[in-house]
Amino acid sequence: MSKKAKTAITPTRTEDYPEWYQQVIRAADLAEVSPVRGCMVIKPWGYALWENIQKELDAKFKETGHQNAYFPLFIPLRYLQREAEHVEGFAKECAVVTHSKLEAGEDGQLVPAGQLEEPLIVRPTSETIIGELFAKWVQSYRDLPLLINQWANVVRWEMRTRLFLRTAEFLWQEGHTVHATSEEAMEETRLILDLYADFAENYMAMPVIKGEKTEGERFPGALHTYSIEAMMQDRKALQAGTSHFLGQNFSKASNIQYLDKGGQQVHAWTTSWGVSTRLVGGLIMTHADDNGMVVPPRLAPSHVVILPITPKEETRAQVLEHCEKLAQEIRDQSYDGKPVRVELDDRDLRGGEKMWQWVKKGIPLTVEVGPRDLESDSVFVGRRDLGPQERAGMPRAKFVDDLPSILQEMQNNLHQKAHEFQKANTVTLDTKEDFYDFFAPRDEIHGGFALAHWAHDPATEEQLQKDLKVSIRCIPDEGNKESGTCPFTGKPSDGRVLFSKAY
């Protein structure tokens, strides 16, 4: 009997996937549970990931003409009541402020006082209050399109939380735009969906499927909702971004009107769209392994860590001086249009301990340098997309020169690996029996993605959720034009949709 290989993370993915996820976050020092129930503290390495996500997306938004603004955290209750479907969709998740101050009670304990005339909602999303401002800003067709984005926090009072994936408070961006015509608003909706998909594929190295949500999965108050769906390593789907065509629902509720070229007062057309810190959870569950986090180079807080090996005090200064020069040579290199980011870890720790800390963080490249490496002018390199035992020596100059291409090769490899996993676990199903067998409970393996016909019957969605906890993730943009028969109702179907269990 072969001895089981030791891993840095226990339990492993196959042993207990939910607990493995929590342990990767802990080992990589990404975040921890806060003293406030359901909230999280994002630690420096985890926040640096979010900053890089934010930085890259923000640049893309600005390239497409959007501007950043900021709107209040608190929303008057009456604003939500204007759009009945919207408030119904969020009512159970709203946190409500009812008092303005605290006073000491008879027992010396602080108690709420100063009851507000109107309760304030801590924003679960900002369509209603932004609509109130847009109604003032938009007066003429010359004011359109209005393209606004906000980076903010929101609160949704979740009962069951999981770090990054679902917390009571989380960070996100929410775009809100106003347009003169339905066609322009739909073009914006699709533009942002494509932007999100490009970011997921080319920066996160996370393959996604684009498509429209069914009516039952639609954003409250929207006419059409589109999403990108990614497969995690337990074969569940993660909704990684959404873009909503709101029609005139919110413009009528908020009275966003403008004078058109013909001199008529008409209601505008609006959109909204967003991604959140859930993307960090998506990175973990797409790329991490049983030794910890694996970070795609394009989003890595640092690309390279140099680990000086100084077993003897008399060679320590020489090794450190050499490592500092190497760090500067690396910074002089460029990857993805920016200087390569490098760390020099000269902490007084055992080499193996330092090495594994960085492996668990998922830094793309570890570079060990000791006295012998100085003599041979070489470095000992470990790539995080390969196994920890596959480290190898190479000439220092070659490593520095090849660094940009090594990082891009790693980025490509991570995407290719994730793409092959998604492809291997996506099936086409034509019978109810095969469908139920594919999604039957099997420990932490959740079937995968299934493309099957559907006759646009909401009752089928409800039954599959009840029986298997399976939902329609989207009606894919591609590959769903084949007509057929719904295996659940026997009714005609105009195309296949994407089914999966989901986060």
Task: End-to-end CA distance of the chain: give it in Å, rounded.
Answer: 37
Query: Residue 2: its pLDDT value, please?
Result: 45
Under a CB-based contact definition with an 8 Å cutoff, are residues 335 and 408 in contact?
yes
pLDDT, average across residues 27-44:
97
Q: What is the DSSP letter of 93?
A: G
Residue 111: predicted pLDDT: 95
Segment 218-245 mean pLDDT: 97
Q: How far apart are CA 407 and CA 297, in angstroms?
A: 6
User: Could you give the CA distance from residue 321 to residue 327 in angstroms, rounded to a whole number?
Assistant: 10
Q: Which is more confident, 444 or 108?
A: 108
AA letter at 350: R
Residues 416/206, Cβ–Cβ less than 8 Å: no
What pLDDT, on the 0 to 100 scale, is given for residue 5?
67
DSSP of 316-377: HHHHHHHHHHHHHHHHTSEETTEEPPEEE---SS-HHHHHHHHHHHT-SEEEEE-HHHHHHT
Q: Are strands 237-247 and 426-428 parallel, antiparallel or unpaired?
A: unpaired
Residue 398 has pLDDT above 50, yes or no: yes
| Identity of residue 166 | R
Task: List domains and CATH numbers for the chain.
Answer: 17-287 (3.30.930.10), 302-408 (3.40.50.800), 426-500 (3.30.110.30)
Predicted pLDDT at 1? 39
For 247, left (φ over 0), alpha (ψ -120 to 50), or beta?
left
User: Residue 368: phi, psi to the nearest 5?
Assistant: -95, 135
Q: Which two tokens stand for residue 259?
A: 């004078």
| Total residues belonging to the chain | 503
Q: What is the pLDDT of residues 200-212, one digit of tens each?
A: 999 999 999 999 9
Alpha carbon distances (Å) from 89 to 81, 219, 227, 424, 472? 12, 8, 18, 36, 18
Q: Whole-model pTM?
A: 0.96
| Across 36-62, average pLDDT | 97
Q: How many other C-beta atoms can be found within 10 angstroms of the C-beta atom of residue 172? A: 17
pLDDT attached to residue 425:
97
CA dist., res. 212 & res. 298, Å (int)? 28
What single DSSP character describes residue 313? H
Chain centroid, CA 448 distance in Å: 19
Handedness of CA 460, 466, 467, 472 (dihedral sign): positive
pLDDT band with cut points at 50, 70 and 90 for residue 4: low
Distance CA 247, CA 375 (A): 69
Query: Quick check: 106 pLDDT over 90?
Result: no
Q: How far apart are CA 382 and CA 40, in angstroms?
A: 32
pLDDT at 3: 53
Query: What are 287-336's pLDDT values in tens digits?
Result: 999 999 999 999 999 999 999 999 888 999 999 999 999 999 999 999 99
Instruction: For residues 270-285, give the mean pLDDT.
Output: 98
| Token duo for residue 299 | 């989003």
Average pLDDT over residues 91-109: 93
What's the pLDDT score for residue 481? 77
Q: Please give the share of the chain, as a percent, with pLDDT higher than 70.
A: 98
